[in-house]
């Protein structure tokens, strides 16, 4: 671990953390600082002027990244009959009803997104203590409790991600891979920030977006000019 620490420190010295860069320049810096041999995830963190302990300051939503996330998303669908068949045709990785619930209760949670038809929520509701803490509980506001199963599965597979503000008022997410082009990363970051801005809660007062930071999995963080992200 010490060797990785030295490598990261050496790369970090090349980045002036006191300056805020235009988004395109920040992306260039991130792409020029790889220190690993694997395709690192590019992550964005947005500091918001909200206190999520208050219900009217909660920030949560979904956004479809125009260029995807660069990783495969395993989708589980709770449905029966025609809707189960629709889910399978759309490419869902796991489809079932009570049988799928039993697998989840047994600790088999090999999926990244969970979708359910409304009639299955009585079954899914019993899994709240398991799925809830993992951020996998289907929610009608997030479009994951729906009769439009094919659309929901395709969106999840196509680069749709969920975001939710943390206790410290920070929203973060992976928005692509270092192997993405600069243009693709700029588009993804812009779409992510735009979705957060549109999700501004009624209770938010004062400055809403305070800071934006960009980094790769093992790379240094770079400050991004807010004005360069907002249209």
Of the chain, the end-to-end C-alpha distance in Å amounts to 41
> Could you please report the per-residue DSSP string of 85-131?
HHHHHHT-SEEESHHHHHHHHTT----SEEEE-GGGHHHHGGGHHHH
For 40-60, what is the mean pLDDT?
Answer: 94
To the question of pTM greater than 0.75 for the whole model, the response is yes
Average pLDDT, the chain: 90
* Ordered structural domains, the chain, with CATH: 16-69+160-229 (3.30.190.20), 75-157 (3.40.50.790)
**pLDDT per residue as tens digits for the range 159-177:** 899 899 998 999 999 999 9
- pLDDT for the residue numbered 219: 87
**Per-residue pLDDT tens over the stretch 75-91:** 999 999 999 999 999 99
Q: At what angle do helices 182-198 and 23-31 cross, to 10 degrees?
A: 130
* pLDDT tens, position by position, 190-226: 999 999 999 999 999 999 999 999 999 888 899 999 9
């Amino acid at each position: 671990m010490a060797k990785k620490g030295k490598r990261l420190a050496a790369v970090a010295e090349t980045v002036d953390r006191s300056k805020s860069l235009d988004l395109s320049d920040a992306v260039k810096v991130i792409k020029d600082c790889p220190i690993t041999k694997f395709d690192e995830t590019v992550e964005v963190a947005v500091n918001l002027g909200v206190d999520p302990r208050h219900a009217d300051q909660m920030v949560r939503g979904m956004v479809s990244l125009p260029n995807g996330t660069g990783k495969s998303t395993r989708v589980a669908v709770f449905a029966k009959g025609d809707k189960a068949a629709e889910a399978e045709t759309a490419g869902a990785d796991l489809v079932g009803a009570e049988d799928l619930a039993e697998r989840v209760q047994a600790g088999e949670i090999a999926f990244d997104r969970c979708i359910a038809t409304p009639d299955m929520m009585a079954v899914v509701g019993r899994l709240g203590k398991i799925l809830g803490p993992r951020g996998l509980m289907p929610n009608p506001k997030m479009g994951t409790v729906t009769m439009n199963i094919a659309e929901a599965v395709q969106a999840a597979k196509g680069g749709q991600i969920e975001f939710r503000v943390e206790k410290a008022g920070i929203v973060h997410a992976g928005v692509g891979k270092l192997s993405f082009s600069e243009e693709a990363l700029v588009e993804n970051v812009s779409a992510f920030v735009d979705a957060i801005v549109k999700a501004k809660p009624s209770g938010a007062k004062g400055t809403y977006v305070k800071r934006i930071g960009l980094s790769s999995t093992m790379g240094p963080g770079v400050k991004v000019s807010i004005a360069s992200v907002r249209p």
